[in-house]
A and B are shown apart, each in its own frame.
Chain A
Amino acid sequence: LAKTTQPISMDSYEGQEVNITCSHNNIATNDYITWYQQFPSQGPRFIIQGYKTKVTNEVASLFIPADRKSSTLSLPRVSLSDTAVYYCLVGDIPSPGGFKTIFGAGTRLFVKA
């Protein structure tokens, strides 16, 4: 599985757009890129997943360049409640054996008023 590298922490202000970049130089052809959000003492929550180009849902966008060696999670207009740890994961496509998921170190995002 590809190892991921993310910034340890980031600060932002309410209403700003936040971009968190994840490096995954050894990504394999079959690997998807997934992002999770985790608040203290809670389980991680799925944010978005993509394979290439751009994916957008109601909470975030995911930008993946053509070489797929990195990806950027974009959170539009963050609020105080977006203060959390954001994990980038690179893993296999679904298989009958389930997903072997390895979480990266995560990025602690702190949103200030």
Chain B
Amino acid sequence: DTEVTQTPKHLVMGMTNKKSLKCEQHMGHRAMYWYKQKAKKPPELMFVYSYEKLSINESVPSRFSPECPNSSLLNLHLHALQPEDSALYLCASSQDGAGAGEQFFGPGTRLTVL
């Protein structure tokens, strides 16, 4: 299994809602990533987990809260988002500490904040 899955595909939420995005991989990768991508812009790194520990946080607002319950699963908890947070949220994984650095990306969750 060489794919990263993300659920849901689409999400619409109000500014007072709490929702979560889910990402899963079964490739044995030990590094997992969250990116945010606005239309016609490159992906922007948000968080990196390595061996289930948060290793990189790119100064992301606290209304985004990542969680890595196990080596295959990565969540992004959302609370009190703003309309400007509407974007495509991408999850990726990679072998950590070895290999040539290829990241495998999921298809993304299209988030709309009303």
Enumerate chain A interface residues (CB-CB to B < 8 A): 32, 34, 41-46, 49, 87, 91, 93-106
Closest 5 CB pairs of A and B: A43-B105, A103-B42, A98-B31, A97-B55, A98-B48
Whether a CB of chain A sits under 8 angstroms from the CB of B60 is: no
Chain A nearest CB from B57 CB (Å) reads 11
Contact A99 B108 (CB under 8 A): no
A105 to B42, CA, bound (A): 6
Tell me the smallest distance from the CB of A60 to a CB of chain B, in Å: 13
Chain B contacts for A103, CB-based, 8 A: 42-44
Number of A-B residue pairs, CB cutoff 8 Å, is: 78
The answer to whether B42 and A46 have CB atoms under 8 Å apart is no
Q: Identify A32's interface contact among B98, B101, B108, CB under 8 A.
A: B101
Q: How many residues of B contact A (CB 8 A)?
A: 33
Which of B4, B88, B98, B103 is within 8 Å of A99, CB to CB? B103
CA–CA, A41 and B4, complex, Å: 15
Known: A41-B108, A100-B56, A103-B43. A94 touches B102 (CB 8 A): no
Contact at B50–A42, with CB atoms within 8 Å?
no
Are A32 and B45 in touch, CB under 8 angstroms? no
Expressed in whole angstroms, the Cα–Cα distance for A103 and B103 within the complex equals 12
* 8 Å CB contact of B100 from A49, A98, A102: A49
Query: In B6-36, which residues have CB < 8 Å from any A CB?
Result: 31, 33
Contact present for B96 and A96 (CB under 8 Å) = yes
Instruction: Report Cα–Cα, A101/B56, bound state, in Å.
Output: 11
Docked-complex contact B101 and A91, CB < 8 angstroms:
yes
